[in-house]
Structures are given as structure tokens and as C-alpha cells.
Structure 1
Amino acid sequence: MGWGRGEAVDGSETGWGRQAEPAPRWRALLDRARLAGRGAEHHDVDHRAEETPAPPPETLPRRAAGTGWTGRAQAVARPADASFGAEPAYRVEATYRVEPAYRVDPRYGGEPAYQAEPAYRAEPEPRAEPSWRAEPEPRAEPSWRAEPARPPEPGYPEPPPRGRGTASVESRYALLDGGYQPEPAPAESRYALLDRGRYRPEAHPVPEPARIEPPRIEPARVEWRAPEPETELERAAGVLRRELGGPRVLAFANPKGGVHKTTATVLAAATVGSVRGRGVLAWDDNELRGTLGLRAGSARHARTIRHLIHDLAQIEILEGATLLEHLDDYLRHASDGSYDVLAGEESPRFAQRLDQFTVKRVLELLRRTHDVVCVDTGNNVESPNWRTVMQAADQLVVTTVPREDAAFSADWMLDLLHEEGMGELADNAVTLISCPTPGRTPLQDDLERHFATRTRAVAVVPYDPALETGSSIEYHQLQAETRQGWLKAASVMLEPFAR
């Protein structure tokens, strides 16, 4: 056929001198399918092939013989089976060309044989920790480094003197020490056992140092406690400490004499001054001979309202500290300094000079220097100074004692104020009942109920033996019950103005 190389179809050798691979079965089946499809035109050829037996195949020369044989491969017929003679022998068509043997491309490099990776190098096994290595024995200090000898402790034998001799085998410093052999430590020494490696801590317990715990600081706790209810006395003192919204004038009035107008004026000023500390004055505005200057204040001078009016024009034009300094020359002071006193004139002829205009100027001056001015109004309701004080007063205090004539005079004065157009001052007044004797009388209860209907409030102050003599009034010498009664009464007087 003119091919460069031949290929055996069934059990032959290739042109390279190696055994060819047998033809696959599927190729024979394909050939049969091709033959069956050709039809009748090949039928005769097939019968002739059956009748004429095929000559035996020629032996192909081997490549090693060097014949240079080339040609086409001949089909090899199967030997007929005696038992099955109906089927003709298989014959390869003359035009069928056998595909050349699969030739491996020499350039194709097959994958190299799998090279196993070098053996996995496992991490080296951890070295077992060596058994507990005892610390080396402490070396004994040589003699030339040894500390100076110490005096032996009581109870221990004194070691013999050191000397040079044959060194012990156990002494590693024998050569260095020049043959010095240390004496063995006493058996009781724990340090000797430790040096030799035979010390057991459990045999010689060492007491642990005392552990000092730091002081434990508790966190601050804020506890809310409900405020205790305010007592009546605390409430009264709180009222007197408040701001009053400006200077206030308290007028103590009753046309009847002997009803404690002067006593009430002094004690009210002393009570308010003891709480506020300053800015309180008591003025004796009696057109007749008043005794307020005698019962209150120190007699450091004899100046009265008359001297003040004489120099009033020069004092009115002053301001601030200069005004206080010059006005102080005309005032008297309480022994404890809690309030000031402006004494009234003792001469009856001076009453003609206290006209309405002069009283207004004095009140205006006192308001510039004091917060609370307590005025003893006297007994003449027809005098200009009495009416002027009533018109300028912020609070009216009606003083009386539990007697019918004193109560009748106070009730008549309230009617007069209503007639004079000062009904509001009368309705907002405070009735102050002073007890001149110990105990409580049935008339006092009637007076309290009566004046409670005519005035804003009724206050009762108890009897005190210090006031019975009619001499100088010292607030701190009063009984505690008396001071508490006046504290409540004073708070009632100033309560409408406290802020």
C-alpha cells in the first residue's frame, strides 16, 4: 500500500519490532455494520470469499531483519468452525485501510513518576524536664572574707578558736584557706543544716510576719432623713430673721395708763433685737413725762428727743455711716446691745413742740437707720404726735391687762380708729394681753374671745416677777417661759411682713 510502516490488525507486530495492541472489538463491529450496509452488490463477493479459502497470511518480516519491508497488511480470515458452517469467514475488504498504529509523539513528555515528598519531619519531641535540680551547696566564705566574730549567744557553747591544720576532704576551700578546717555547726543551728542540704522547713517552721491589713474605708453613704417637724419656737425665730420688705413701725397704744404699754414696747424691741442682732429701736413718744428711757437702755448720757429735734436739720442731711455715727450720740443702748432707745422728754412744756410735721421728720430719720421701730404712743389720743404715729404705723399693737377698765379703754380706741378712717389698721391689729399676776383668771378667757373678733390675732405673755418691781428691764433676766411667750408674740406682730 505504500505506507511507511505497517500495523498488524490482530496479533501482529509493528514496524518497530514491538507487539502491536490487539484491535478493539468495537472496530470489528463497525466493519460489519459497513458491510451490511452495502447491500446486494457485495453479496457475491462475500460468497466467493466463503467458497475460496483464504491463503495463509505471509509472515511479516521483523524490523530486526533489516528487510525494509513495506506494504499493506493482509486480512487474516478466521478458521471455519465445523459446527457452524452457515456463516462465511470474515474477510476484510480490499479497499479497507488499517489505520497506522498509534504513534506516540516523541516530543510528548510523560509526567514524571510521582516523587514522594520527603518524610514529614515531625517536630522534635520536647525534652523532658530534668528532675528537680537541687541548688548547689552554698560555698562557705573563706576565712579572709568572714565577718568579724560575734559574741556567743547565751545557751550556745563558745566555738573553739580557729587554727590551721589538715584540711577536710569535704572542704572545697581547703587549699584556699591554707588547710583551715571549719568547725561543724551546732546541731541546733538551722543554717548549718541548710548549708549541708539537709534542712527541712517543716522541721523548723519560720513564723510568718504578721499581716497588717489596710484599713477598710467604707464608701460614704448619704442617707436622706425626713426633716423633723419645726417647733413653734423655731418657726417664731425664723419669722423674725426674715426680710421685712423695708423698715416697719410698730405702734403700742391704749389710752388707759398702767396697761404695760412701756413694758410691751421695751420687751418687743428686746425680743426682735435678740434674734435679728441689730436695727431695732424703741422710741418713747409720750407727750407727757415718759419712763421708757429710765426702764430701758444705759444712762451713758441724758439726751432725749428734745436734743435730737434741736439738731435735726444738721443730721437729716447726712448719709450712710456718717448718719449712724452722729445719730448714735442721741440714742441710748440696751445693756446687751440688742436694741437702741430714743428717750422722751421729761419736761411737760416740750410737748407743744412735737407737732405733726416734726414727728414725721423723726420717723423718716429713724426709718433710714433701723429696720424695726417700736413706738410707745402715750395716752392722749387727741395729740398730734399720737395721731401722726397712728397714721404712719405699719402694725398696731393694742396692749391690755385682764381687767375690765383696761379692756373697755382698748375697745373704745378701736372704735375711734374706725371713726377716723383707720379701720383697716384696727382690724389688722394684734391684741397683747399681759398677765400682771401669776395664774389664769376667768376674765382672761373672755377677753381673748372678745378681741379675737375685733383684731387679727391675740397674744398672751405670762407673768414674770422681774417685771413686777417696775425697775430697769433686763431681757436676759426674764424666765425662759416669759422669753418664749414674747418670742411668739413678736413673731405674730411681724409675720405679715416677713418674706
Structure 2
Amino acid sequence: MADKPDQGRTGELADGELASSESTSDAVASRSSSTDDLTISVPENLSIVVDLPPAPAPEAPEDEVAVAIDEVPVNPGFVASPTEPTTTSVAIVASRLATGPTPTAAHDDDQRDIPPLPGTDAFSQSRRDRLRGEHSQQPEPAAMLTADRLLEVNRKTRPGPEGGWHRFLYAITFHTVNLGDSAKVRARKELDHRIQKQFEGGTRFVPVLTRKGGVGKTTVTTLLGMALADAREDRIVAIDANPDRGTLSERVTKQTRATVRDVVQKAASIGGFTDFSALVSRDETRLDILASDTDPLLSEAFDENDYNVVADLTARFYSIVLTDCGTGIVHSVMRATLQRADSVVIVSGGSVDEARLASETLTWLEANGYGDLVRNAIVALNMATQGTNLVKLDEIESHFRSRVREVVRIPYDPQLAAGSVVSYKDLKPLTKQSARTLAALVVEGLPTNRG
């Protein structure tokens, strides 16, 4: 029995693609003589279309769903009302798979305060203008614990006025009326405060020099040292480094015959201040003076190495070291002195040649790399020299003010002119005031901290 065409197959081809006439004619059904199986030949380019249901949407992992934020348009000019919020806070969950920066919440409350960078303490060196209870961000030295800071100012703790009518009124009213110090006393205490500036980090060296002899270097060194020692609580020493037989030790009452030569020879055996104090002379202001060599045959032996030995020893025991230099500005001692100098005092006389040589000293210092010392220098204008009454001191002072930091006039005083022992308490008030002004200016030019 002959096979009929497959009705179902014809229907599928009708919905899709129609078979070509050439492919249909080639399809032949044959019956095998030895079996009942039916064999059908299929064309090679037959196309079949199958309709599949839509694929399900992929599900995101839990860690990605936690950080997903709905795309909501935001108006940057709109400010939400606190009672009618228009935004929703979204919980942020950090994933261990995240490699980028962690997203932050949009709410202002979630912002973290950034601590300010540490700054310098404006009150690390002074308690002036500090509010009560405010503390320093840096450790304070013991010198900050002053009486005016710790004591409450009242009737019992306020000191009584000094001198004159203010003191008399304070006494007759049984300490109930305290007008305070007079203007003169306040000026003196203010100058004391300037001279008493505290230092940290080692000894300060101040040489007193000029290129001309006989202008009063030793006198100025003596006055400066006495003014410093009288006002300050620490130790002050003046070294006579003049290789040509200096006379600094003759300005105070001698208490020893020792000189800088003895200090050099006994340096290894000096273990403390008691040993060193036996080699110096001390006056009524507590100024220590170390004399120079008195033997003319040995004076030239004091060189740069010897000065360094003396300077190293004095640096162990003193806060300020003054050096009375000689006239040999190119001497090796002068080189060692300037290498340690924190400030310099240039002494000038009142005559034309003395002022010119003092100015040339400044020029020499600038030419040899000591320009900073020149700009910070103080010029002491000694008015006791000859010719002072014949020149215009204002013009000399004006010249030096254009080159150095300050100029101080040292007036004539009979006690200084005698060239002998100087009694600080017996100096004329104007001379003592000039010495104290010089001391205050020198101290103000010294570095407070030594790095």
C-alpha cells in the first residue's frame, strides 16, 4: 500500500517556509524487500522556526541589591522641609567584594566632622593676653610660673608703691590707698624686665670690639657687664681677650691673680663652678671678670685654641659671656671670638677718626661674612673721648643708625675717666641709665632659643 504525504508536516511548512519544487521532486519513498521499515530523505536546507517563552529576569546578588539606589531626579535648588521630607535614607552595607570607595549617605546627619590640623601654640612663649583657664598646647618651661601669673592681685598681694608721695600715702593710710608706682619706677621696672629676658639652649657670646684702641672698649665692657649682672639672676662673665695686656681686671677689686693662662693650664682639673670661680674676680653686682695675661712675654701666646678652651669652660657655668677684644682685628683670637658671637657691640669715640675707624670695623665684618652681626649690632658712642665737644654727635649717630640696629650714647663720668675700679652704685644716674639701656638692647638682640 502506497504511503500518503504527512498532513501534520505539511501544516508546519505552511506556517513557516515552503519547500522548493526541486527538493520535493527528489523525495522518493521506497519499500525494502527484506524489511517493513520506512526510509524518508530530508532536504539539506530545511528551516524550522520554534517559538520559545520569554527568559526570566536575572536576579542580582544580595550585596549588590543592598547598595542599589533608585534613580530619582533631584532638584539641587530645592531644600526639603524638616516636617515633610522628600528623600529617603538608604542603608549602606559595605561588601567585602567592593574595591572602590564606599558610598556615603545623602543625609547631612551622616557627615563626619574632620578634626582641624594641629597648629602652633600662639602662647608658647608668653602668658600675655591669654584668657584665664586657657592652656598651652606645648609643654611650658618652669620660667612661666611667675608671681604675676599665679598670685591674685588684691589688697594683700598687690605690692606697695616705691618712693615719693605714693609710698608716703600708702603708709599713712595703713596700706588702704595704693596708687601704684610712679612713672619713673614703672620705667625702671620695665627696663629690668627687658634685661631679664630668659634664654634656653646654651650660652650667649657678645664681643665688644673696634679697630682703634683707647676709645673705651674696656669701659663699655665693664658697664655692660655690671648692668647685666645687677638686673639678671643668672651668671655673667667678662673675658679679657686682649693679647696686648688688657686692663679689664683693673676695673674691679682683684680677688685673684689668675688669668686666662691659668684657666687654659688647669682646664682638665676644673670640675665645677667652685673650681672656676677661684680663677675670677667678682664685683658688687656679681659680675665675674677673667683677666688677661699680665706678662708681656706671654701675651702673644694666647691664641685661637686657648680662647676656645676658655670659652668652652665658661659656657658650662655662665649664661652670657662678654669678650673685651683687642685692637688686632685680624688676630686669631678675633676669628674665634666672632665665630661664637651671637651679637656684637661696636665702640666708637666722639672724634672724626674714631668714628671712621668704627665704621670701617663694620665694613670689615661685612666683607668677611659677618653681615648678620653688623645688622644686629649695637654701637656704643663713648662721649668721654677727646674731641667730643668739637664734632656733631647727631651726624655720627645718624651714620651708624643706617648700618646697625641701635646706637647708645655713653656720657662722661668722672669715675669712668679715672681708669680705676668702677663702683656701679656710685655712677651718675645718666651713666647708669645708659648702661642699662645698652644691656636691654643687647639682650633683645640675642636669640631666645638655641637650636
Q: Which residue of 2 aligns with 1:358?
A: 306
Q: Which residue of 1 aligns with 2:376?
A: 428
CA offset at residue 234 of structure 1? 2.8
- Which residues of structure 1 form unaligned runs of 5+? 1-221
CA offset at residue 420 of structure 1? 1.1
Q: Which residue of 2 aligns with 1:300?
A: 255
The runs of at least 4 consecutive aligned structure 1 residues that moved more than 3 Å come to: 222-233, 437-442
TM-score relative to the length of structure 1: 0.51
2:327 partner letter: N
Q: Tell me the secondary structure at the aligned position of residue 349 of structure 1.
A: coil
Q: Which residue of 1 aligns with 2:280?
A: 331
CA offset at residue 440 of structure 1? 6.2
2:215 pairs with one of 251, 254, 259:
259
2:293 pairs with one of 325, 341, 345:
345
What is the correspondence of 1:273-284 to structure 2 with a 5 Å cutoff? 273-284=229-240
Task: Confirm or deny that 1:268 pairs with 2:213.
Answer: no
1:484 partner letter: Q
Between structure 1 and structure 2, the one with the greater Rg is 1
What is the correspondence of 1:65-76 to structure 2 with a 5 Å cutoff? none
2:355 pairs with one of 383, 407, 415:
407
Distance change in 2, residues 1:311/1:443 (3 Å)? same
In 2, the alpha carbon distance for the partners of 1:247 and 1:471 equals 29
Deviations 1:102-152 (A, max 9, x none): xxxxxxxxxxxxxxxxxxxxxxxxxxxxxxxxxxxxxxxxxxxxxxxxxxx
Q: Which residue of 2 aligns with 1:44?
A: none
Distance change in 2, residues 1:227/1:404 (3 Å)? same
Q: Which residue of 2 aligns with 1:244?
A: 199
Judge which range, 343-352 or 230-239, deviates more.
Answer: 230-239
Answer yes or no: is the 8 Å Cα contact 1:399–1:410 preserved in 2: yes
Task: Confirm or deny that 1:290 pairs with 2:246.
Answer: yes
Number of equivalenced pairs: 270
In 2, the alpha carbon distance for the partners of 1:337 and 1:274 equals 5
CA offset at residue 437 of structure 1? 6.6
Task: Confirm or deny that 1:469 pairs with 2:418.
Answer: yes
Identity level (%): 26
TM-score relative to the length of structure 2: 0.56
Q: Which residue of 1 aligns with 2:444?
A: 495
Judge which range, 354-363 or 229-238, deviates more.
Answer: 229-238
Q: Tell me the secondary structure at the aligned position of residue 471 of structure 1.
A: coil
What is the correspondence of 1:23-42 to structure 2 with a 5 Å cutoff? none
CA offset at residue 448 of structure 1? 0.5
Q: Which residue of 2 aligns with 1:451?
A: 400
2:430 partner letter: E
1:262 partner letter: T
In 1, the alpha carbon distance for the partners of 2:367 and 2:430 equals 39
In 2, the alpha carbon distance for the partners of 1:496 and 1:270 equals 18
Q: Tell me the secondary structure at the aligned position of residue 395 of structure 1.
A: coil
Q: Tell me the secondary structure at the aligned position of residue 330 of structure 2.
A: coil
Q: Tell me the secondary structure at the aligned position of residue 206 of structure 2.
A: strand
Deviations 1:422-464 (A, max 9, x none): 1111121101112117986652111100000011111112211
Computed over aligned residues only, the root mean square deviation of the Cα atoms, in angstroms, reads 2.5
1:458 partner letter: V
Q: Tell me the secondary structure at the aligned position of residue 362 of structure 1.
A: helix
Answer yes or no: is the 8 Å Cα contact 1:403–1:443 preserved in 2: no
In 2, the alpha carbon distance for the partners of 1:364 and 1:445 equals 40
Task: Confirm or deny that 1:378 pairs with 2:334.
Answer: no
Answer yes or no: is the 8 Å Cα contact 1:242–1:498 preserved in 2: no
Q: Tell me the secondary structure at the aligned position of residue 392 of structure 2.
A: helix
